Amino acid sequence: MANEVIGVIGGSGLYEMEGMTDVAQVTVDTPFGRPSDEYVTGTLDGVRMVFLPRHGKGHRFTPSEVNYRANIYGMKKLGVTRIISVSAVGSLREEIVPGHIVIPDQFIDRTRGFRKDTFFGNGVVGHVQFADPVCGELSGLLHAAAVEVGAVVHRGGCYVCMEGPAFSTRAESHLYRSFGASVIGMTNLTEAKLAREAEICYGVIALSTDYDCWHDAHADVSVEAIIAIIKSNVASAKKIIRQAVSRVAAGRACACGEALKYAIISDTSVIPVETRENLELIMGKYL
């Protein structure tokens, strides 16, 4: 585990990670602007960790305002090779009861282009594979950890990533159900894309907090109800992280660490100097 650093991005209701030792607050500068907050570095059961609250402490950024590029860049700069996202999601399936955990393995993009969701552009073009958008190895660990701590967990499932910040209309909620999707949220797809481009493994612990607004026998989603469920389940999410982190092996057997190897199509001899400098950390070895 010597060189492995695990990042945790905390979503709604998870603004800090207790239990770490050697804790430090780190401000990270990036070519893409400011991350959501200071990163908190430390050690959890002997494993080096970096924590970042996605919406900032005090929940200051909407899902569209979060600077996902800066957040992922900062993780890379701090040496993170695997990111665990903890997120609140609405359930689109009867069997995913509020309080259950889902480890999603697919996404549907319903964002509207307001977010910067790629490091490419400004003279360098690349296309990463994204057929399997989360790291299978890390997701397997998260699933096993959830089982071990006694959570009710669903392995796999499709996460619809909507723009927000308003929740869905009832017609949209039924539409997503007709797609066969499992859960809905507003953040994870954007992060997963950038993590892939940064060659960082990405896995999600999604906490089902509500039945969105499709279910006749349950109240429509509200922030109040979401927060209540998060409060009673956040301890379980933290246990899952701790359990998963203790099982992470040194070295990665997955392909996430080479995601850019065959992705860049630009003639690297014509990449502008500033672009090259900004992307040195992310893809310098390929340019």
Ligand X SMILES: CSC[C@H]1O[C@H](OP(=O)(O)O)[C@H](O)[C@@H]1O
Beta bridge partners, 83, equal 7, 202
* Closer of 160 and 264 to ligand ADE (Cβ): 160
Rounded to 10 deg, the angle between the 68-77 and 273-283 helix axes is: 60
Neighbours of 268 (CB within 10 A): 11
Q: Residues 10-49: x/- map of binding to ligand ADE (CB under 6 A)?
A: ----------------------------------------
- Regarding 167 and contact with ligand ADE (CB under 6 A), the answer is yes
- Regarding 90 and contact with ligand ADE (CB under 6 A), the answer is yes
What is the pairing mode between strands 158-162 and 106-110? parallel
- Binding footprint of ligand X on the chain (CB under 6 A): 11-12, 54-55, 63, 87-88, 164, 185-187, 223, 226
C-alpha dihedral, 174 to 178 to 181 to 183, nearest 10°: 10
- Pick the binder of ligand ADE from 209, 233, 243, 275 (CB under 6 A): 209
Shortest CB 167 distance to ligand X, Å: 8
Shortest CB 247 distance to ligand ADE, Å: 27
Q: Which of 37, 105, 117, 210 is catalytic?
A: 210
- Regarding 212 and contact with ligand ADE (CB under 6 A), the answer is yes
Contact partner, 54, from ligand ADE, ligand X, none, Cβ < 5-8 Å per class: ligand X
Q: Which of 37, 105, 117, 212 is catalytic?
A: 212
| 186 annotated ligand binder | yes
- Regarding 88 and contact with ligand ADE (CB under 6 A), the answer is yes
- Three-class secondary structure of residue 161 per DSSP: strand
Contact partner, 223, from ligand ADE, ligand X, none, Cβ < 5-8 Å per class: ligand X
Neighbours of 276 (CB within 10 A): 16
Site for ligand ADE in 169-208 (CB under 6 A): 184-186
Q: Is 109 a catalytic residue?
A: no
- Regarding 89 and contact with ligand ADE (CB under 6 A), the answer is yes
DSSP 219: P
How many helices (H) and strands (E) would you count in the chain? 6, 11
Beta bridge partners, 99, equal none
CA distance 109 to 275: 27
- Regarding 84 and contact with ligand ADE (CB under 6 A), the answer is no
The continuous run of DSSP H or E covering 52 comes out as strand 47-53
Residue 208 C-alpha from the chain's centroid: 15
- Regarding 221 and contact with ligand ADE (CB under 6 A), the answer is yes
Alpha helices in 155-271 (DSSP H): 170-178, 188-197, 223-247
Q: Is 132 a catalytic residue?
A: no
Distant-in-sequence, close-in-space partners of 40: CB < 8 Å, separation ≥ 6: 16, 17, 20, 23, 24, 25, 26, 50, 51, 52
Contact partner, 210, from ligand X, ligand ADE, none, Cβ < 5-8 Å per class: ligand ADE
User: Which segments are annotated as binding site for substrate?
Assistant: 186, 210-212
User: Which segments are annotated as binding site for phosphate?
Assistant: 12, 54-55, 87-88, 187
Per CB under 6 A, residues contacting ligand ADE are: 88-90, 162, 167, 184-186, 209-210, 212, 221, 226
- Which residues are the active-site residues? 210, 212
